[in-house]
């Protein structure tokens, strides 16, 4: 099974299904999203969508109200294609810990979703993920996915590693290969057994090669679609691996194990 471990809701969802079919991807982990760059028809409309993205990844989508429409879109996509999408749901990080625990219980575990994410703490505040880790541990160790690209800092990655060590039963996935701090991310994940590294949006092909070489059993193929393309992301993994067990793990085996699909 080929599993894209990182994707966001598309509008329309059928375009996403077409991308997965073209790439030979069986299933995709699906996150909610506020920005929709795929809706853009030119540079100006793209700027508007990317401004929303900047707000979201900067941790400025505060409170539940900022998430409602994105959650509704996610639910609609999951209902339409339960055989293709694996649902994750984010939670606002500016809520009190007890409220976060209640949301994980009701909106993630209560809906039968497979994990929590993609979380986007403000830069320098990865510590806000701690109540989510605690709640994940209380629900059969749900996987937690945290945004890894800018504006995530190197210190944020170190904070995430400390949280992973504090909650060693909870799989903690750093997305987008840790962005510009990819060498730090590889080293931290390598040395922290409960951490995983998702490989999308890599700017350097040898970053993907090194990550898989260092942590072959905890690297995950992902596209970050619609920002990335599943076919290109899969081709990147295949370019730096040989046919066999390691490639199979990265392209889906490790994700299937992490998500309880095997």
| Tens-place pLDDT, residues 154-211 | 999 999 999 999 999 999 999 999 999 999 999 999 999 999 999 999 989 999 999 9
* Rounded distance between C-alpha atoms, residue 73 and residue 51, angstroms: 20
Spell out a b/e string for 56-72, using b for 16 or more CB atoms within 10 Å of the CB, else e.
bbebebeeeeebeebbe
Q: Is the pLDDT of residue 62 over 60?
A: no
Burial class (CB in 10 A: 0-12, 13-18, 19+), 165: middle
Task: State the chain's mean pLDDT as an integer.
Answer: 95
Res 61: pLDDT? 65
The packing angle between helices 182-190 and 205-214, to 10°, is 10
Cα of 93 vs its chain's centroid, Å: 16
- Please state, in angstroms and rounded to a whole number, the distance separating the CA atoms of residues 137 and 126: 18
Q: How far apart, in Å, are the Cα atoms of 109 and each of 80, 98, 164, 207, 252? A: 20, 15, 20, 34, 23
Could you give the CA distance from residue 80 to residue 133 in angstroms, rounded to a whole number? 30
Angle of CA points 111, 114, 65, to nearest 5°? 55
The DSSP code for 122 is P
Q: Report the predicted TM-score, pTM, of the whole model to 2 decimal places.
A: 0.95
């Amino acid at each position: 099974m080929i599993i894209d471990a990182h994707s966001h809701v598309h509008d329309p969802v059928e375009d996403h299904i077409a991308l997965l079919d073209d790439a030979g991807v069986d299933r995709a982990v699906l996150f909610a999203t506020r920005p929709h760059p795929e809706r853009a028809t030119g540079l100006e409309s793209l700027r508007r969508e990317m401004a929303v993205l900047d707000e979201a990844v900067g941790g400025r989508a505060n409170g539940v109200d900022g998430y409602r429409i994105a959650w509704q879109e996610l639910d609609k996509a999951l209902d339409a294609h339960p055989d293709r999408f694996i649902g994750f749901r984010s939670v606002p990080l500016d809520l009190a810990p007890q409220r976060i625990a209640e949301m994980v219980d009701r909106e993630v575990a209560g809906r039968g979703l497979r994990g929590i994410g993609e979380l986007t703490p403000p830069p320098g505040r990865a510590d806000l993920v701690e109540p989510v880790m605690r709640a994940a541990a209380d629900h059969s160790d749900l996987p937690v996915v945290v945004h890894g690209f800018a504006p995530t800092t190197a210190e944020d990655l170190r904070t995430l590693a400390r949280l992973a060590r504090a909650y060693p039963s909870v799989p903690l996935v750093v997305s987008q290969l840790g962005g510009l701090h990819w060498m730090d991310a590889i080293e931290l994940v390598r040395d922290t057994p409960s951490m995983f590294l998702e490989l999308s949006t890599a700017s350097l092909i040898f970053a993907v090669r090194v990550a898989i070489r260092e942590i072959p059993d905890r690297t995950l193929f992902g596209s970050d679609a619609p920002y990335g393309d599943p076919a290109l992301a899969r081709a990147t993994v295949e370019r730096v691996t040989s046919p066999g067990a390691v490639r199979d793990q990265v392209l889906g085996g490790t994700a299937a194990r992490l998500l309880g699909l095997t």
